[in-house]
Amino acid sequence: MFRGLITAMFSLAVAVSWAAEPTPVSLTPNGQVRVRMLHHQGADFAAGNTTNTLHQRTRFGLHTAVSEQIGLFLQLQDVRVWGEELDPLRDGNAEALDMHQAYGILRPTDRFEIRLGRQELHFLNQRILGEDDWFDSARSFDGLRLRYGRDSILFDVFYSHVSEDVSTLGDLGTVNMEAIPNGTDQDLVGLWFQFKASPSLEFNMLKLADMDEIIDHMRFTTGILVRGDLGRGVDYSVEGYYQFGEREEGIRYNSYLAALELGMLLPVIRHPRLALFAEAVSGDDDLTDSTEKVFSAPYASSHRFYGLMDYFRDLPGDTAYLGLLDVGAKITWSPLSSLRLELVAHHFRSMVESADGYNYFGSELDFTTQYKLMEHTWLELWYSGILPGALLTNTRPGDGMEHRGGITFDMKL
């Protein structure tokens, strides 16, 4: 009888679906296969510890829409190192297979959009908030995003629940919950406003608030970025951010980040761009007092700014809370429409001296070649080397020059 009832219900559902007017659905797939060979010398400035590994990121995404107002975006991602599966026949586990993005899209009007679910967030140049796409898994957030644009004005508001205190969930936790150590309950809220007055003036304002209920932490980041093209091949970018707030035991935040870049097109064939840049990230000269004066950027795309060696991915941890001064130059040239070359030089110092009186991290040179093999397919070769200073070598076994390089094959559809 039970089987007959199920059969009748199924038949009724099929009949109703045939009778209903079908809703046209558009399906737009996309995907990526990125394979990178990475040569790494151990980041210890000593002989040995060199590794050569092959990393792969595979993505499959699908955008579905029933109208211009309603849609979904789903993106699966698998990240792996070649050879990590011990048995190519019997090891069927995909330990880094994840739903990288999964969000609904609502567009009540042509100018207003709502995104709800897991999604990448990147704002401005990603110095403060970005997905950090160079990292194999990249970064995505669970949250809500509201976006309104009209002519030269853009408003973007978002909320993300970054991590959950699993101790409060009990039996409601999923299989991933036990992976979060030391119980955190973090939220991130932000606002981005943009006004494009003219080609020579684009004004951006960014405000963030990151909170953690467990340690009673509340930190605000507020700042602006102004950039534009002044004509005659000259462009500029100026930005500054200030952090303030408080956490448990009365520790106050009081820190800043400031950056400047001035570029110009050189009057030679294919007009290479030469740029000078400087960035100052505040440090803390007294870790024992009640004011934390070091700037923190936990969600930045740091690989874009602080060198391909990645010695400063984590601000402030990788600077030992001394801050960072990065002064340098870069030249970018496309001798062919399918070829892009870039050379970047960095000189890294701390903003405050260490207890031993040191303030020099090192000097780095990065070279990147990107070639478009065919439509949707790129090949990138890159090399980076750093001459370390005392601030990098005093906690590592060696003091010699360190090298890093690789080849990346990237296909996006």
For every residue of 339-359, DSSP letters joined together read EEEEEEEEEEE-SS--TTS--
pLDDT at 169: 55
pLDDT at 231: 93
pLDDT at 1: 44
Please compute Rg for the chain using Cα positions.
25
Q: Which of 370, 368, 372 is nearest to 338 (CA)?
A: 372
Contacts of residue 334, defined as CB under 8 A and 6 or more positions apart, other chains included, come to 270, 272, 340, 341
pLDDT at 170: 52
Helix, strand, or coil here: 337? coil
Domain range list for the chain: 27-412
Distance, in Å, from the CA atom of 201 to the CA atom of 296, rounded to the nearest integer, reads 28
The whole-angstrom distance between residue 371's C-alpha and the CA centroid of its chain comes to: 23
Distance, in Å, from the CA atom of 303 to the CA atom of 406, rounded to the nearest integer, reads 15
Contacts of residue 2, defined as CB under 8 A and 6 or more positions apart, other chains included, come to none
pLDDT at 166: 65
* pLDDT per residue as tens, the chain (413 positions): 444 544 544 454 444 444 445 667 899 999 999 999 999 998 899 888 899 999 999 999 999 999 989 999 999 999 999 988 887 777 777 778 999 999 999 999 999 999 999 999 989 999 999 999 999 999 999 999 999 999 899 999 999 999 887 665 555 445 454 544 556 789 999 999 999 999 999 999 999 999 988 778 899 999 999 999 999 999 999 999 999 999 988 899 999 999 999 999 999 999 999 999 999 999 999 999 999 999 999 999 999 999 999 999 999 999 999 999 999 999 999 999 999 999 999 999 999 999 999 999 999 999 999 999 999 999 999 999 999 999 999 988 889 999 999 999 999 99
Bridge partners (DSSP) listed for residue 220: 209, 244
Burial profile 20-59: b = 16 or more Cβ within 10 angstroms, e = fewer: eeeeeeeeeeeebebebebebbbebbeeeeeeeeebbbbb
Structure tokens at 293: 């004066």
The reply to whether omega before 316 is within 30° of 0 (cis) is yes
Distance, in Å, from the CA atom of 34 to the CA atom of 138, rounded to the nearest integer, reads 13
84: Cα within 13 Å, side-chain hemisphere = 14
Q: Which CATH number fits domain 27-412: 2.60.40.1220, 2.60.120.260, 2.40.160.100, 1.10.150.110?
A: 2.40.160.100
pLDDT at 5: 43
Q: Are 180 and 161 in contact (CB under 8 A)?
A: no
Q: How far is CA 170 from CA 106, 174, 178, in A?
A: 33, 10, 11
Q: Which of 69, 33, 38, 70 is nearest to 51 (CA)?
A: 38
Angle in degrees, CA 296, 301, 305, rounded to 5: 90
Distance, in Å, from the CA atom of 307 to the CA atom of 313, rounded to the nearest integer, reads 9
Bridge partners (DSSP) listed for residue 57: 34, 79
Structure tokens at 241: 């951010």
Bridge partners (DSSP) listed for residue 124: none
Distance, in Å, from the CA atom of 223 to the CA atom of 205, rounded to the nearest integer, reads 6
Helix, strand, or coil here: 26? strand
